[in-house]
Amino acid sequence: MATDSNSITISGNITRDPEMRYTPSGISKVTFGVAVNRSWRNQQSQEWEEQTSFFNVVAWRQLAENVGASLTKGSRVVVSGRLEQRSWETEAGEKRSIVEIVADDVAPSLRFATAEVHKVERSGPGDGGGGPPRRPATTTTTTPTAAPAAEGGYDDYGEEPF
């Protein structure tokens, strides 16, 4: 993911089930909302206060397919992407605009939950896809494991440290 001054990362709960749609050319698009809560202690009253911000999120292609197949209302997620403003005119001639997050990546938050990861086939460079939805070639379930004991090393697991 390229970083620029328009990058954003949020962590929050999905407020509505992801809604999948397709463009006339067959490209998948999913939209969903995320609520982000911020809590702080009021220095004067010593009471906890909370503010909730709501964000609309859009994901395209394989990311959209994966979000639609994996996440539901209430899921805690981490979304990274960029802010984008869209404008349109209603049938009544009123001008409207919205700022939304166009997701580069969406992941379940593992702060309060666990997740299973199932790999899907990639269609090409950058996984941009654009073709028909891909089905899993193989399914891999990942389970967190403890670090190797002192007598063992990374090599015992066929892995190298990163």
> Where is pLDDT greater, at 119 or 31?
31
Band of pLDDT at residue 1, cut at 50, 70 and 90: low
Global pTM reads 0.68
Query: What is the rounded CA–CA span in Å between residue 117 and residue 138?
Result: 11
Per-domain boundaries in the chain: 7-157
Query: What is the rounded CA–CA span in Å between residue 160 and residue 162?
Result: 6
How high is the pLDDT of residue 2? 54
pLDDT tens readout for residues 99-109: 999 999 999 99
How high is the pLDDT of residue 158? 44
Please say if the pLDDT value at position 75 is more than 90.
yes
How buried is residue 54: exposed, middle or buried, by Cβ count under 10 Å (0-12/13-18/19+)? exposed
How high is the pLDDT of residue 32? 97
pLDDT tens readout for residues 48-74: 999 999 999 999 999 999 999 999 999
Nearest to 107 by CA among 154, 57, 160: 57
pLDDT tens readout for residues 118-148: 888 766 555 554 444 444 433 333 333 333 3
Which contacts of 31-39 are long-range, i.e. CB under 8 A and separated by 24 or more positions?
31/56, 31/57, 31/58, 32/56, 32/57, 32/67, 32/71, 33/57, 34/10, 34/77, 34/79, 34/101, 36/10, 36/11, 36/12, 37/12
> Where is pLDDT greater, at 15 or 137?
15
How high is the pLDDT of residue 91? 93
How high is the pLDDT of residue 115? 85
User: Can you name the CATH fold of 7-157?
Assistant: OB fold (Dihydrolipoamide Acetyltransferase, E2P) (2.40.50)
